[in-house]
Structure 1
C-alpha cells in the first residue's frame, strides 16, 4: 500500500501542466512506470491522483457491485465520470485535462495534498477555504473517527 506524505504548492502553466516538487516526485518514483489515474473527488471540489496500483485495488471493490441494481450502476457512472489516465512528462510535469481543471477551478496556484494513498489536487484558494471552513471542530472529528480504534483493529471503524 502506498503512503504518501506532504502538502506542496505549485503553479499551473497556461496548458494546465503542474511541475511536481522533487520531494513528491521522489515519493512517486516507484509508481512512474505504471502511470496514474486522475478523477474528480466525490466530496470536495478537487481532483484525486491515484497511483495505478491503488486505482486497481479500488476498482476491484467497485467491480464487485451488481450492475443490475440501478443505484450501483448510477454510482459507477458518476464515480468514473471524467476519469483519465495520466503520466508525468519528460520534464516531470503532470498535465491536468481541461475538463478536470474546470471541475476543480484550477487556474494558477495549486496545492497538492497527500491523502494517504492518493494526492488531492486543489486550487489554492479552495484548499485554504476547505481547511479554514471546517464546520466541525477537528478535535471532536478526530475523537469520533479515531477514538475507538485500537492497535488490534485491522480497519478504522
Structure 2
C-alpha cells in the first residue's frame, strides 16, 4: 500500500457525513471496493479509519499476544468498543458516514481534520486536533525528533537541519 499521509480539513454535516478531499480519496481508491473499519483511538479522543485489510493485519498481531487471560479480554473489549466494521466510502462522491456513537466519542461537530497517518486515517474534531498538537512542547518535539532521526533511521537529517 502506498503510504497515506497528510492533513485534510473538511466539514461534517448534521448526520456525520464527510466528503473526503480528492487527494485522500485517490490514495484510498485501491481499497474502495472493500469495507473499512472505524474505531475509537486508544490514546486520543479521535477516531481511526482503516482499510479492512490493514485492520485485519493489526488484529492478527493483537491476537498473537500469548496471554489471553482476563486482562487481555478486558483490554480487547475496550480496544474494540464502538468499532464499526462494515464502513464503506462511496467511490464516486468519496462520502464517509461516521456512526453516531463514534461522533459523540470524538466530539465531532462541523470542522473536521483528517490526519492520514501512514496506514490509517485519524478523524478529529478540529479543536481537539489543534489542542493535541499543542500538547507536545517544541523542546519535546525536538528531543523526540533527534531520537527518531539520529537514533534510528540513519542518513535522514532531523527537520530543520542541513
TM-score relative to the length of structure 2: 0.86
Q: Distance in 1 between matches of 2:33 and 2:140?
A: 41
Q: Provide structure 2 residue ranges, at least 5 long, that are not aligned to the other structure.
A: 155-162
Report the alpha carbon displacement of residue 146 of structure 1 after superposing the two structures with TM: 4.1
Indicate conservation of the 8 Å contact 2:2/2:27, yes or no: no
Matched, 1:91 2:93: yes
Moved over 6 A (4+): none
Corresponding position: 1:114 with 2:120: no
Structure 2 Cα separation of the partners of residues 82 and 36 of structure 1: 14
Aligned residues of 1:34 and 1:52 also touching (Cα < 8 A):
yes
**Match in the other structure for 2:132:** 130
Higher deviation after alignment, 140-149 or 76-85: 140-149
Match of 1:147 among 146, 150, 156: 150
Aligned pairs (5 A) from 1:8-157: 8-66=8-66, 68-85=68-85, 86-89=87-90, 91-135=93-137, 137-150=140-153
Between the two proteins, the alignment pairs up a number of residues equal to: 152
Please state whether the residue corresponding to 1:110 is helix, strand or coil.
strand
CA distance in 2, matches of 1:2, 1:139: 27
The unaligned stretches of length 5 or more in structure 1 are 152-157
Contact kept? 1:18, 1:95, Cα under 8 Å: yes
Instruction: Report the Cα distance in structure 2 between the residues aligned to 1:150 and 1:102, rounded to whole angstroms.
Output: 38
DSSP-derived class of the 2:44 partner: coil
Aligned-pair Cα RMSD in Å: 1.8
* Residues 1:67 and 1:133: Cα distance change in structure 2 (over 3 Å): closer
Please tell me whether the aligned partners of residues 18 and 97 of structure 2 are also in contact (alpha carbons under 8 angstroms): yes
The separation in 2 between residues aligned to 1:6 and 1:68, in whole angstroms, is: 36
Q: Per-residue displacement from partner, 1:76-120 (whole Å, max 9, x unpaired)?
A: 111111110211135321001010000000010000001111100
CA distance in 2: counterparts of 1:79 and 1:20, whole angstroms: 26
TM-score, normalising length from structure 1? 0.89
